[in-house]
Amino acid sequence: MNDIVKLHQVAKSYEKNGSHIQALQSMDLSVQKGDFTLVKGASGSGKTTLLLSIGGMLQPTSGEVHVLGKNIYALSDREKVKFRAHNVGFIFQMFHLIPYLHVRENILINNETTGIKVNENDLLKLTDELGISHRLDHRPSQLSAGEKQRVALARALIKKPEVILADEPTGNLDVENSQVVLQKLRSFCDEGGTVVMVSHDNYPDQYANKLVTIGQRAETVNL
């Protein structure tokens, strides 16, 4: 099997206000190239923890995380940063755009980390597909929620990553905008990319081909 993401007995626990919190419990997960994996679970079940762990941003307490065949937490900090810059795209529920940069600069911010100069035609084609090409010279504060998420999606897609990790990307969007985002993520998978997406909603199910439910123990089903 061509595993893009592989988790083996990954657990994450931490102390908060004197209490021991078990965010992830001995989780195993395999995500193959082209998979659109949907992660569901109750609030506080560790969905975001899982995504950040896959992204190399939150070291698990135990277990191993392999992305593109690399044990990501065995890499040095510098290698991890470089690996993330080239191979992983993030999308968040709260968009997290840089407020003082125009849309164009927010999307091209990756140039700084990948060192790859994005072709202007590629930028225009992608933003056109996402319906935000007329907003390139606007600031995030001038955009609607749907437009902001489409900018965040463009930022993740423009660098052509192997994996996109999406944390409730439709959580703040209306149905129409949600469909645009989900359709684009589906297309990304169809073209060989891999998506791991956290969601509370049911309608993304139709775009995914794998469902992981996090609870007492994680369960994976093919949709």
* Residues near other proteins, by CB under 8 A: 43-44, 46-49, 52, 55, 57-58, 77-78, 81-82, 84-86, 90, 92-94, 96-101, 105, 109-114, 155, 167-168, 171
Burial class (CB in 10 A: 0-12, 13-18, 19+), 112: exposed
DSSP 75: S
Whichever of 37 and 93 has its CB closer to other proteins, that residue is: 93
Q: Which is nearer to other proteins, 15 or 222 (CB)?
A: 15
Alpha-carbon gap, residue 189 to 179, rounded angstroms: 15
User: Minimal distance in Å, beta carbon 37 to other proteins?
Assistant: 18
CB of 62 to other proteins, least distance (A): 17
Report the nearest approach of other proteins to the CB of residue 159 (Å): 9
Of the two residues 14 and 223, which places its CB atom closer to other proteins in the complex?
Answer: 14
Helix (H), strand (E), coil (C) string for 150-161? HHHHHHHHCCCC
Provide, rounded to whole angstroms, the least separation between the CB of residue 127 and other proteins. 18
Task: Provide the minimum distance between the beta carbon of 52 and other proteins in the complex, in angstroms, as a whole number.
Answer: 5
Q: Which is nearer to other proteins, 36 or 90 (CB)?
A: 90
Which residue, 33 or 139, is less far from other proteins as judged by CB?
Answer: 139
Q: How many other C-beta atoms lie within 10 A of the C-beta of residue 1?
A: 7
Q: H or E segment at 189?
A: helix 175-190
Of residues 160, 110, 102, 161, the one with CA closest to residue 132: 102
Residues 146, 152: Cα–Cα separation, whole Å:
10
Name the CA radius of gyration of the chain, rounded: 17
Query: Which lies closer to other proteins via its Cβ, residue 12 or residue 210?
Result: 12
8 A C-beta contact, residue 29 and residue 193:
no
Q: Map tokens 């690996």 to a residue.
A: 83
Q: Are 107 and 127 in contact (CB under 8 A)?
A: yes
Pairing status of strand 88-92 against strand 36-41: unpaired
91 or 211: CB nearest other proteins? 91
Min CB(45)–other proteins separation in Å: 8
State the minimum distance, in angstroms, from the CB of residue 145 to other proteins: 14
